[in-house]
Amino acid sequence: MSEVKFSKEHEWITLEGDVATIGITKHATEMLGDIVFAELPEKGSNVEKDGTAGVVESTKAASDVYTPVSGEVVDTNQSIVDDPAKINEDPEGDAWFFKLKIKDTSELDNLMNKEEYDKFAKETSS
Amino acid sequence: MEIKKTSLNKLHQSNNAKFVEFAGYEMPIQYSKGIIEEHKFTRSNSGIFDVSHMGQLFIYGDQSLTEELEKIFPLDLKNLKENCSKYSFLMNEDAGIYDDLIITKIEDGYLIILNAACKDKDFEILSNLLGSKFKMNLDNNRSLIAIQGPKSVEILNSIINGVDQLNFMTGNWFDSDNQKLFVTRSGYTGEDGFEISISNDKAEKFVENLIEKGAQLIGLGARDTLRLEAGLCLYGHELDINKTPVEANLRWAISKSRLSNGGFIGSKKIMNQMQDGASQIRVGIKPEGRLIAREKTKIFNDTDKQIGEITSGTFGPSVNGPIAMGYVDKEFSKVDTKILLEVRGKKHPANICALPFYKKNYVKGVN
C-alpha cells in the first residue's frame, strides 16, 4: 500500500494498485465533534476531484466530504452509516468512507504527506 | 463591541472548554468529553451549566406592581404565591413574542429571568411600560448557575441545606458561605434540577465545590440537545416576534382566569386564536432513519406542497436518533401525520410526533 496522503479538506487517501481508499482525518473528527450521521456516494457512480462525495453531521452541524481524486466508486463502508460513532473512534483506520477506481494517479502528486498535513492542520486550526 | 465574559470564564478555560460567541458572550459550547457524553452525564448524574449570560431582572414593588404586571403578562399574578414561578412571555399587541421568561414572586417584588440576547431590549420595553414608579435592576453583579440531572438534589443539598424541600417551579433565599443565594427548582433539560443566583465573586468557588461533589460542567451544545429532547422552545428558533404563544403550542402557559377578560398586551389576538385556532402550529418531528433535518429545512406534504419549516433539529443522544421541532399548517399537525423533509435537494420521510421526545417526572409535593 502506498504512503498515506492528505488533502486540504481533511481527507486521507491510500492507494493499492489503481484503487484508492478515502476517509476523513482524525483532526477533522476532532474539529467536528461527535459524528451522528454519514452519507456516502453511490456504488458505481463517478466522482470528480475536489467534488463532494458524502456528508457527515455532528451534533452541531453538517459538513461535506470531498474526494481528493477522481474515479468510480467501487465500494463504500456501510458500517459507518449504521454506526457513525465509529468515525470518531477510528477515523484513519476501520472508519474509511469509500474506495475509488482511479484513472490518473498523478492527481495524488499535489497532496500532502503526513508531516505537511500535521503542520497545515495546526496552522489552520489556531 | 468587546465580547463579554461571565465570572466562570477562567474555570471554563481550565476545564478545556471550546468557546463560541453567544448573545455577545464568550460561552463554552462543550468541554473535552464532547456533547454526547455531556448530555448523557446530565441525564444520569448531574450537570452544571453556566447561564450567567441570562438576565436577572429584579423589579421591586407591592400590590400596585402586581396590577401593572398583569397588564403585561398573561398570568394570574394576584393569586401567585410568594416564591412560586411561572413560565410566560413578553409580547407585543399582536401577541408576537419579544421574549420567553420565568417570573418568580419574591418578598419585595418579582424576579424575572430573561434570555441573554433579549435582556437589554426587554428592560427597555418593561421600563417604558412601567414608567419610573418601580425600582428595576437588571443585575449584572449576580451569576446564574444551573445544576441539572438526578443526582443534583443530593449534591446541591450537601452545600445548601434545605433545597431538597423545594417543589418544581418554586424558589427561596438560602444562606450559604455568608451570602444570600436565590435558588429555584427549575431548568431547561427535562431533568430535576435547580438554578442558583449567586454574586459574581462567589460563583467560581461555588461551582468548584459542586464539581468536587461529583457534578460536571456541561456546555451549550448539550444544553441544546437536552432541551430539544425535552420539547422545550429556544428563543430565536421556535419563538420570535412573528410567533404567538398559541402558534407555539404554549397555551398551557396562559392563565385561564385571564382569558375571560383579557386586559394584557396581545390578549385580543390570543383570545381569537384560542377560539379559532392558529393557522400554523409548533409540532415535534421524527425523521425516519438517521437523517438530521436542521433549522430552516422545508417541510412538504405528499403532493409537494410546502406546509412548514423546521426550527430546530439535531441528534438526540438519549433517544438515540434524530429529532426536530418546527411549524406546520394546522391540518398537518396531528400526531402520526406523514410529512417530507427536504435535505440536500432530496425529500425524506418523517412523522409528526408528540412532545417531549424524552420524559421524566419533575418533583412535586415534597412539602
| Domain architecture of chain A: domains with CATH | 5-104 (2.40.50.100)
> DSSP assignment of B204-246, as one string?
HHHHHHHHHTT-EE--HHHHHHHHHHTT---BTTTB-TT--TT
Contact A4, A114 (CB under 8 A): yes
Distance CA A60, CA A92 (A): 22
> Residue B261: its pLDDT value, please?
86
Q: Do B315 and A33 touch (CB under 8 A)?
A: no
Whether residue B317 is preceded by a cis peptide bond, meaning omega within 30 degrees of 0, is no
Lowest mean pLDDT across A122-126, B43-47, B96-100 = A122-126
For the CA atoms of B8, B9, B10, B15, the dihedral, rounded to the nearest 10 degrees, stands at 90
Lowest mean pLDDT across A71-75, A104-108, B281-285 = A104-108
Tell me the average pLDDT across B160-176.
96
A34 touches chain B (CB under 8 A): yes
User: What are the strands of the beta sheet with A19-24, ordered from one edge?
Assistant: A5-6, A11-16, A19-24, A98-101, A71-76, A46-47
A61 touches chain B (CB under 8 A): yes
For the CA atoms of B160, B162, B167, B169, the dihedral, rounded to the nearest 10 degrees, stands at -30
> Residue B178: its pLDDT value, please?
85
Domains of chain B and any CATH numbers: 9-52+140-229 (3.30.1360.120), 279-353 (2.40.30.110)
Segments of chain B assigned E as strands: 18-22, 25-30, 47-50, 55-60, 85-91, 97-106, 109-114, 135-138, 142-148, 171-176, 179-184, 193-199, 216-217, 280-287, 298-300, 306-316, 321-329, 338-343, 346-353
Interface test with A, best of B31, B36, B295 (most A CBs within 10 A): B36
> Residue B363: its pLDDT value, please?
72
Contact A48, A69 (CB under 8 A): no
Contact A49, A42 (CB under 8 A): no
- Compute CA distances B67 → B73, B80, B94, B138, whole Å: 10, 12, 21, 21
Interface test with A, best of B37, B290, B348 (most A CBs within 10 A): B290
Percent of chain B with pLDDT over 70: 99
Tell me the average pLDDT across B292-314.
97
Q: What angle do CA A80, A86, A89 make, to 5 degrees?
A: 150
Distance from CA of B159 to the nearest CA of A (A): 34
Using the 8-state DSSP alphabet, how is residue B288 labeled? Answer: S
What chain B residue is nearest to A55 in terms of C-alpha separation? B344
A60 touches chain B (CB under 8 A): yes
Tell me the average pLDDT across B242-261.
95
> Is the predicted pLDDT of residue B367 greater than 60, yes or no?
no
Percent of chain B with pLDDT over 90: 95
Categorize the per-residue pLDDT at A126 as very low, low, confident or very high, splitting at 50, 70 and 90. Answer: low
Looking at per-residue confidence, does B362 or A63 come out higher? A63
Contact A89, A83 (CB under 8 A): no
All 3 cell numbers of residue A31?
A: 474539529
| B229 CB neighbour count, 10 Å cutoff | 23
> Residue B65: its pLDDT value, please?
98
Indicate the helix (H) or strand (E) that contains A23. Answer: strand A19-24
- Chain A residues with CB under 8 Å of B29 CB are 60
Q: Which of B97, B108, B99 is nearest to B58 (CA)?
A: B108
Q: Which amino acid, residue B13?
A: Q
> Is the predicted pLDDT of residue B366 greater than 80, yes or no?
no
Q: For chain A, what is the mean pLDDT? A: 94
Please provide the distance, in angstroms rounded to a whole number, between the alpha carbons at the two ends of chain A.
32
Instruction: Please return the burial class of B114, using the count of CB atoms within 10 Å of its CB with bins 0-12, 13-18 and 19+.
Output: buried
Of A33, A36, A81, nearest to B292 by CB-CB distance is: A36
Pairing type for strands B298-300 and B193-199 reads unpaired
- Chain B residues with CB under 8 Å of A61 CB are 294
> Residue A120: its pLDDT value, please?
96
Of A36, A55, A81, nearest to B315 by CB-CB distance is: A36
Q: For chain B, what is the mean pLDDT? A: 96
Query: Who contacts B49 (Cβ-Cβ below 8 Å, separation ≥6)?
Result: B145, B146, B147, B148, B217, B218, B223
Of A33, A57, A81, nearest to B292 by CB-CB distance is: A57
Categorize the per-residue pLDDT at B365 as very low, low, confident or very high, splitting at 50, 70 and 90. Answer: low
Q: What angle do CA A76, A64, A34 make, to 5 degrees?
A: 85
> Residue B362: its pLDDT value, please?
72
Pairing type for strands B216-217 and B47-50 reads parallel
Categorize the per-residue pLDDT at A48 as very low, low, confident or very high, splitting at 50, 70 and 90. Answer: very high
The pLDDT tens digits for B213-223 are 999 999 999 99
b/e per residue B86-107 (b: at least 16 CB within 10 A)? bbbbbbeeebbbbbbbbbbbbe
